[in-house]
Amino acid sequence: MAENFLATVMLSMSMGVSVLCIGLVIRGCIADAKWPSHFIALAYFFVVMAAEAAERLNQSLPDEFRLPWLQGATLFMVPSLGACLWFYVRGLTSRDVGWARRDVWHLVPIAMCICGALPYLALSEPQSHIIMTSNAERLDIQSVIAVVSMLLAWITWLAILILYGGASMRRLIKHRRAVRDLYSKIDGVSLTWLNALIVIVVTFIVLIIVTSILPAFSPTELLSNTVIAFFYVCVVLVVGLFGVLQKNTMPPWSQLDTAGGKGRRYARSALQGDDLTRIARKLDAAMQDAQLWQNPNLSLIDLTNATGVSQNNISQTLNEHLGVNFYDYVNGWRIKAACAALHASDQSVLMISQDVGFNAKSTFNAAFKKVTGQTPRQYRLGAAAGAEVAQK
């Protein structure tokens, strides 16, 4: 009794949070007068989660209170979660957040899954009961067809899940490289949390598949309703906490072809070795004279405005001539200034990190160790020891 009550509470929480998040997404779209594809995909995700929770709550009710139309309703919705995830990732990592005609093709595998589920949904209640109780000897030909069709639908669904999950991860890897060519601070734009989201969503879908088909082969219950309900709450809270607040990370001012590889990106460039050397000197002069690295929010467009060099030429110079991206280039200047401050002053590491353009001490420590191979404290102690030796 207590376990059922706890499951009911968590499923109700999942429904409530999902409905709240749907409202927040719609409100944001209305306020911005835009309906980008990734926000629509996010709202649909919460619709599916609310429907899943509602269906499980409906199953826990006595027979006389159950709503027949909720039975199996999510079978028509859940197969689209893979595409939903893809559209959300694509929208966050691209300047084009609208819909294209070719996006209609994403409906084809979803329709295949739904068609595979229809024979099972068409079964009568006694036939469904026989299947769910693993009484294979009493299966008629219609039930056998329904089971085979449903299994094929599950296989198709798993294939879709793997393809969409892999495509989303691949796009996030490209995006992680792209933002380092645009920003000197990647907190909030690196989308690291989305990697965890993909794992959660994939686990969630596999969980649904396993818990749906297992009763057809074994009466053993793999997961209790409480465990499933807890998983639903975690999924909804994680996506709601990060997903609703996450904005598109590709700035409208970017002129870089971040979708292609570096070789293809600069294939049409007419810059030669001497041109790259001249631009590199111009960039270094601007960074040194104006101390642009002190701006914690310095971006590629700021360096373009300061030097008059186009974004593509700056990016090509940094990547091909200097062998660094914009993020590492700016942080190199910051670490150089930090080393001088650590050597010449007794300021705290936190104060120095803020003075040279870092917003977080942890980010500063990681960047410092990457460049120098030491922590700021180790560097300061080493510098102090070297000064004492020099004085003797």
Between the alpha carbon of residue 242 and those of residues 52, 233, 237, 245, 271, the distances in Å are 21, 14, 9, 6, 42
Mean pLDDT of the chain: 82
User: What pLDDT sits at residue 390?
Assistant: 46
Write down the pLDDT at residue 256. Answer: 80
The pLDDT of 23-45, averaged and rounded, is: 90
pLDDT of residue 60: 77
Domain boundaries 2-243, corresponding CATH code = 1.20.1070
Q: What are phi and psi of 183, to 5 degrees?
A: -125, 155
pLDDT of residue 197: 76
Q: Using CA atoms, how far apart are residues 145 and 147, in angstroms rounded to an integer?
A: 6
Report the Cα 86 to chain-centroid distance in Å. Answer: 10
Out of 3.40.50.970, 2.30.40.10, 1.10.10.60, 1.50.10.10, select the CATH number for domain 262-391.
1.10.10.60
Q: What is the pLDDT of residues 252-266, one digit of tens each?
A: 888 887 665 555 677
Instruction: Supply the pLDDT for residue 388.
Output: 46
Q: Residue 25: which pLDDT band, with cuts at 50, 70 and 90?
A: very high
* Res. 132: pLDDT tops 60: no
Start-end of CATH 1.20.1070 domains in the chain: 2-243
Q: What percent of the chain has pLDDT over 70?
A: 83
- According to the model, what pLDDT value does residue 392 have? 47
Angle between the 107-121 and 141-179 helix axes, to the nearest 10 degrees? Answer: 150
pLDDT at 44: 92
144 vs 171, residue with greater confidence:
171
Contacts (Cβ under 8 Å, ≥6 apart) of 255: 310, 311, 312
pLDDT higher at 177 or 59: 177
Q: What per-residue confidence (pLDDT) applies to 2?
A: 56
State the sign of the Cα–Cα–Cα–Cα dihedral 145, 147, 152, 156.
positive
| pLDDT (average), residues 99-105 | 85
Q: Between residues 129 and 351, which one has the greater pLDDT?
A: 351
Distance of CA 147 to the CA centre of its chain: 35
- What is the pLDDT, as a whole number, of residue 333? 94
Q: Are 383 and 343 in contact (CB under 8 A)?
A: yes
CATH 1.10.10.60 in the chain: give the residue spans: 262-391
pLDDT band at 23 (very low <50, low <70, confident <90, very high): very high
The Cα–Cα gap between 73 and 188 comes to: 37
Kindly state the average pLDDT of the residues 94-113. Answer: 83
Give the model's confidence band at 389: pLDDT under 50 very low, under 70 low, under 90 confident, else very high.
very low
Write out the H or E segment, with its range, that includes residue 327: helix 326-344
The torsion angles phi and psi of 175, rounded to 5 degrees, stand at -65, -40
DSSP-derived 3-state class of residue 299: strand
Instruction: Please report how the helices 192-213 and 225-243 are oriented relative to each other, as an axis angle in degrees rounded to 10.
Output: 150
How far apart are the C-alpha atoms of 74 and 66, rounded to whole Å? 16
- For residue 267, what are the CA distances in angstroms to 126, 261, 262, 284, 379? 66, 10, 8, 25, 41
> CA angle at residue 163 from 17 to 110, to 5 degrees?
65
Could you tell me the pTM of the whole model? Answer: 0.81
Provide CB contacts within 8 A for 311, sequence distance 6+: 254, 255, 256, 300, 301, 304
Regarding predicted confidence, which is higher, 6 or 305?
305
Burial string for 321-356 (b: 16+ CB within 10 Å, else e) reads bbeebbbbbbbbbbbebbbebbeeeeeebeebbbeb
88 strand-pairing partners: none
Confidence of residue 292 (pLDDT cuts 50, 70, 90): very high
Q: Quote the CA–CA distance of 42 and 81 in Å, as a whole number.
A: 10
